[in-house]
Amino acid sequence: MTVRLGGGQGFYGDGHGPLPDLLADGIDYLVCEALAELTLAILQKDRQRDESLGYTRDLPLYLAQAAPYLADGRTRFITNAGGINPIAAGRAVVAAARQAGLTGLKVATVVGDDVRPQAQTLGLPPDALFANAYIGARPIVEALDRGATVVITGRVADASLFVAPLVHEFGWAWDDWDRLAAGVVVGHLLECSGQVTGGNYSGPWWENPDPLRVGFPIAEVEPDGSAVITKPVVSGGMVTFDTVREQLLYEVHDPVRYLNPDVVADFTSLSLVDDGGDRVTVSGTRGAAAPGQYKGLVCTPAGWAGEARLAYSWPDAEAKARAALRFVRERAVGAGVPVEEWHEEYFGAGAFGGPTVPDRHPGCEPPEVIGRLAWRTATPEAAGLVSREIGVLGLSGPPTIASTGRGRDGKPSQLLAVEPFYVDKAVVDAQVRVQVEEV
């Protein structure tokens, strides 16, 4: 028995154009990983504007494309697109299913990762806007065991979305650490959609045979946890030893102890074999007992930000940009604007590489430099006061100025701070619930 998992999304805003190829190739599960730390903050801003939001709003698009395959039982759909409001996301999915004419479809919603009601007990900030634990695969397995075709969750750890269908299909025990670790490796390889199929590849990226038809990944997984990473034959991209190992090490703090809610995986124990034809076999992963705590993420207000981006051309492009940003800062300080933090960077003069960029050859000047100045204040009114100083540069500052925009049409934007925390699993597990509704 082989289970085919499809990695259909790597982040909120990822393209859903590759889904038809993925679904047509035949997958048992379409798994869409929609969340990042930044994503939760974006969803919080949505929820502040409208309490019925807080989930990824492109979720119905994914459901619509998968609908024919869900209706006839060819595939099942798992996603953490519920974000910080999985209940509302579940309702949206049910509504979209009814609109698409789907009947007999069981939609499961996993809730309970929100620990904000226990903020005081857990020592979290009293002004927390959200506080969510990264739960594991168990509640998704429960949903699948109860016949769910669609499973919507909140903050489930990325790889655990892929572990769940493997536990459900193969009956892996929750203390079978090697197999669970193998599932985490599969999930880690597929969770970023096109990265394992050649996206962001640091090798000869130009060898992508069809960059206009992005290929999303498929894992063909066996009961022992070994798997073949591949992609739809008709799609672009490439699956090679190098593209797979790059994704394997992506965002990994310690390859010997990759922490996941379900298991600790040892990425150094596994074997990768390039079988050719866009097929790489992964096997031999070893695992250890799962951590006793969940990681969490708490969000608090962090003030307001404004920014300006000013472009200057050769000659003396960098000197002009630096003089312009210094002008804005000194004018704001002189006017008594209560700026709590400044940040400046110079694109064309080392902004991306920072101190790692080698010194330029003497006398070699960039043809243009964009100076970006950002500032943080306690109120939107104070952030707006700095912006007023920029206009003077148009006729009274260094020559050859050109604005490249001021971000959000020059309006201040609210800043949110996100910080990790840790919570005992028992505290969270006691409140996790799976709700199943039939359309």
234-270 per-position pLDDT tens digit: 999 999 999 999 999 999 999 999 999 999 999 999 9
pLDDT of 403: 73
Instruction: Return the exposure string of 234-258: e unless at least 16 CB atoms fall within 10 Å of the residue's CB, then b.
Output: ebbbbbbebbbbbbbeeeeeeeeeb
- How many angstroms separate the CA atoms of 339 and 132, rounded? 31
pLDDT of 342: 97
Contact present, 168 and 138 (Cβ < 8 Å):
no
Q: Report the mean per-residue pLDDT for the chain.
A: 94
- How many angstroms separate the CA atoms of 67 and 96, rounded? 10
Burial class (CB in 10 A: 0-12, 13-18, 19+), 345: middle
- How many angstroms separate the CA atoms of 399 and 405, rounded? 18
pLDDT in tens, 206-222: 999 999 999 999 999 99
pLDDT in tens, 146-182: 999 999 999 999 999 999 999 999 999 999 999 999 9
Pairing of strands 106-111, 150-152: parallel
The confidence band for 353, taking pLDDT boundaries of 50, 70 and 90, is confident
Burial class (CB in 10 A: 0-12, 13-18, 19+), 50: exposed
Find residue 58's DSSP bridge partners. Answer: none
> How many other C-beta atoms lie within 10 A of the C-beta of residue 59?
23
Q: Residues 6 or more apart from 102 whose CB is under 8 A from it?
A: 67, 70, 71, 439
Geometric angle at alpha carbon 424, from 418 and 428, rounded to 5°: 80
Q: Residues 6 or more apart from 238 whose CB is under 8 A from it?
A: 197, 198, 201, 207, 208, 209, 278
Per the structure block, which two tokens stand in for 28?
């048992």
Instruction: Average the pLDDT over 28-33 and give the result.
Output: 98
Q: How far is CA 324 from CA 319, 332, 367, in A?
A: 9, 13, 17
Phi then psi dihedrals of residue 373, to 5 deg: -120, 125
Residue labelled with tokens 């099942």: 76
The confidence band for 358, taking pLDDT boundaries of 50, 70 and 90, is low
Say if residue 303's pLDDT is above 60.
Answer: yes
Rounded to the nearest angstrom, the gap between the alpha carbon of residue 267 and the centroid of all alpha carbons in its chain is 21
Contact present, 182 and 226 (Cβ < 8 Å):
yes
Domains and CATH numbers, the chain: 3-297+420-438 (no CATH), 300-418 (3.30.70)
Residues across the chain:
439
- How many angstroms separate the CA atoms of 207 and 272, rounded? 21
DSSP 61: H
pLDDT in tens, 68-123: 999 999 999 999 999 999 999 999 999 988 888 888 999 999 999 999 999 999 99
The confidence band for 191, taking pLDDT boundaries of 50, 70 and 90, is very high
pLDDT of 425: 98
Say if residue 375's pLDDT is above 60.
Answer: yes
Contact present, 125 and 250 (Cβ < 8 Å):
no
> How many other C-beta atoms lie within 10 A of the C-beta of residue 46?
18
Q: pLDDT above 70 covers what percent of the chain?
A: 97
The confidence band for 362, taking pLDDT boundaries of 50, 70 and 90, is low
